[in-house]
Structure 1
């Protein structure tokens, strides 16, 4: 075929313009293909894509409308939680942040010179955090994560209609990472708590929240798995049983609802596992079988009392089941029994396999943790145990979790309970390991600090260890509480505190008025 010069130029330019784009596409798709080959002339046109039949289109549109209606129903009950908290930062940590600028100004010796005069004192720093929550009642009760509101001095929620309402903390349960907050309003949109025990892998769920501050985001996925443990839990007493989902959960989603196709909350989004810190297909939610009793107790009492046996447990596996004379990998193996604990008094022994609680079969250690944690202290439970190939029944009367740490409120009845604003616990072996406190440290662990209290104003934090009160050493929570209770009503208290590897003196000033 003879082409004119103009036609040849046009054809050449066309090929040259297409090559980079097609080559780029080829590299992304196949990895190596240098040039795009010109299309061959074909006598027959390429076959057209087959049209969707009316039934397929109708089914897709029906699903689309259903998802839209579900999101529209739930979104008004989702809130953005904004928290202002006060944390303590050591002076040398603050100077570490400025070390680069110091070295640039003073030269290579500036960092050393600046650190000569540091004192391990802590400075207050105001921080702001974002999370999510869900309204569960028209009168303003909202469920969120405990880690969202932990240490909050100010809480505000933003509604889907852009209203910003102040909220107060009703109660928190660190063990389950759940909190209830409340706004002073009526006739609010709300969604009910559903039954997470009816979930099955493969079922569709929607996750609601405010990831990275993008308010009222909805993502869709499925239930990937059930009864997952929390791999990052440092407290072996924390219950597992998390719902795993591939619905996108990112920072800021914490406290938001995971919802089933009925528009019911089946979980509270809590954490994700990701090497990058953002979503990579594994999000986790607290199931409502844990949420419901925890929230009920927080609304009713402002706190949660968990049953406690004082034993360490692990799962039965196919590999170890034969050593326990079991026919299946079901149950929870007792790996440790604390002296004088409820489990010890009941007669549990290391190597026992707990297979049932009050007649209900136990599949793994996570299920046992949840079942025991939901029982009230003082309750006597009957455990079916396999011991050396024989079945025995062991009755155990539960204690309150934390009672063995002798939690006390510092202060004194004559001066008003808790006037210093701290809760104290003994430095038990578990707490010592968790805090990485040296073996020579003795004292009382600060369990909680009331915002705005004398302890809060002095910079004391949860996890600090009080080793002296007014230059007198203390060995336990009761020692510290008694010593603080003896301080005169209008007098200051000097406390020596171990925190983050160092000791500091703090002065507690009594609240005026």
Structure 2
């Protein structure tokens, strides 16, 4: 009996001890911890790093160093106003005729960027196209008359010069090194609001938007979301170091005003074009001589390509740089001088930085295997000749290419204009200053070099067709003997 009492007492003590232990643990150790968050404290997801406080991009240096080097460009041009007849009977007998009216004065404005302390300025070709007078207004309100040094419609770049010293200017930056998401500033004069700075990021590179209608036009725009409006054309796109990385040129808009995206010619192209215009008076365009297209899924499947990459060559032109180097139809261009190219715009951007006669390393994929070629670039005529503006003097005449405005007014797609006429075969044949040559021996004349080449190769007679600035057509014939 005593044994049962001892066992019972032991069991009771053990049970009581367990109860005390459970109560103590619940009371002191297992209570849910509640953290009260003050209302003014921001809440963050634990999986996302918080933005560092006070680390927003500081754009003040870039803005301060660039705003004084961006100018306001004002242009004035005189246009002949013409009223075309709509009478079909009149046109049946006389053709498309018009009545002369009083000339109209047109005024426009844009922006420009000073590139040197002695007054060289870059802007867009469409800002000064057809201008009779160009005025440049500095950020400090000084105003100068500007001289047009040269223009290139294929890249929409033009160079001006003002006679002044010690001007603030911007240095070129490396547009190839720009990264998506990098901060940039657009500086210009939108809506005549001078010295306006807007900020954004690089949204895309080597963008082709189909806006440049010039013959062999080049589009490899830097796309940004910095606000750009009419009047910004020709202004600066600068990086955070205050370096010029592009020239603002166009906007994507259904209203004519900024609606999200803007486009700039990259500095890599601008710098080369400016150098050509200053040194030669015209751009030295180098080409590979191939018909190209982007590599799509359909192209890759059709030609059994292992990857969707590079630029597809549909045809290699005769007497071209590519043909001379050994490049063939249906090759795929992977890179130029080590820079990968995956679109026609990227390929054009890389080649446009060179002159005829330059050698470039072109990596080709043929039968899905890489093969490298050294290509000596040529001009559109199949040689490596460098052409200077002074070469425009031929047969006693000096020529100039038509502006886009002149082409529009005269309904022409090509032609060159006689700007000065001295003793020679052209004057003897009856041509006059202002005459526009459109065709020679039934071949189109798109540049001065076309005219020289066709006439030089002519055997016997030369037939020149064209019209005067009032629209009156004419033709002339003379012999080369």
Common fold, TM-score beyond 0.5?
Answer: yes
Equivalent pairs, count: 402
Q: 1:368: how far off?
A: 1.9
Q: 1:267 Cα deviation (Å)?
A: 0.8
Q: In the alignment, is residue 119 of structure 1 matched against residue 97 of structure 2? A: yes
Partner Cα separation in structure 1 for residue 261 and residue 241 of structure 2: 23
- Give the corresponding residue for 1:253: 232
Between stretches 295-304 and 232-241, larger displacement belongs to 232-241
The alpha-carbon distance between structure 1 residues 358 and 245, as it changes in their structure 2 partners (threshold 3 A), is closer
Cα shift at 1:113: 11
User: Which stretches in structure 1 are left out of the alignment for 5+ residues?
Assistant: 1-47, 97-110, 425-430, 438-444, 468-472, 486-493, 509-513
Deviation at 1:120, TM superposition (A): 4.1
Pairing 1:405-424 to 2, within 5 Å after superposition = 412-413=394-395, 415=396, 417-418=397-398, 421-423=399-401
Q: Distance in 1 between matches of 2:215 and 2:366?
A: 23
2:438 to 443, 448, 465: 465
Tell me which of 407, 415, 418 is aligned to 1:446. 415
Highest CA radius of gyration, 1 or 2? 2
What is residue 497 of structure 1 aligned with on the other side?
Answer: 466
Is 1:313 the equivalent of 2:313? no
Decide which of 48, 70, 74 is 1:82's aligned counterpart. Answer: 74
Which whole-Å CA distance do the structure 2 matches of 1:482 and 1:197 have between them? 37
Cα separation, 2, equivalents of 1:503 and 1:349: 45
Query: SS state of the match for residue 171, structure 1?
Result: strand
| Rounded Cα–Cα distance in structure 2 between residues aligned with 1:360 and 1:484 | 40
Q: How does 1:214-363 map to 2 (within 5 A)?
A: 214-234=193-213, 237-363=216-342
1:112 Cα deviation (Å)? Answer: 8.6
CA 1:293/1:482 → structure 2, altered by over 3 Å: closer, same or farther? Answer: closer
Aligned in 2, Cα 1:436/1:293: closer, same or farther, shift over 3 Å? closer
Q: Could you tell me how far apart the structure 2 residues matched to 1:227 and 1:91 are?
A: 42
2:31 corresponds in structure 1 to none
2:134 to 155, 164, 168: 155
Does the C-alpha gap of structure 1 residues 321 and 63 become closer, same or farther in structure 2, counting only changes over 3 Å?
A: same
Q: CA RMSD in A?
A: 4.4
The residue number in structure 2 matching 1:181 is 160
1:411/1:262 Cα in 2 relative to 1: closer, same or farther (>3 Å)? Answer: closer
The equivalent position to 2:185 in structure 1, one of 206, 228, 239, is 206
- 1:239 Cα deviation from its structure 2 partner: 3.0
CA distance, structure 1, for counterparts of residue 142 and residue 317 of structure 2: 51
TM-superposed CA distance for 1:244, in Å, is 0.5
Q: 1:402 to 1:159 in 2, by over 3 A?
A: farther
Q: Distance in 1 between matches of 2:468 and 2:435?
A: 9
* 1:481 CA drift (Å): 6.4
Shift of 1:338: 2.8
Distance in structure 1 (CA, Å) of the matches to 2:455 and 2:206: 44
Asked whether the 8 Å contact 2:180–2:204 carries over to 1, the reply is yes
Aligned match for 1:73, one of 49, 65, 74: 65
Q: Any gaps of 5 or more consecutive residues in structure 2? A: 1-37, 43-49, 457-462, 477-481
Checking the alignment, whether the CA contact within 8 Å between 2:220 and 2:346 is kept in structure 1 is: yes
Distance 1:422 1:122 in 2: 25
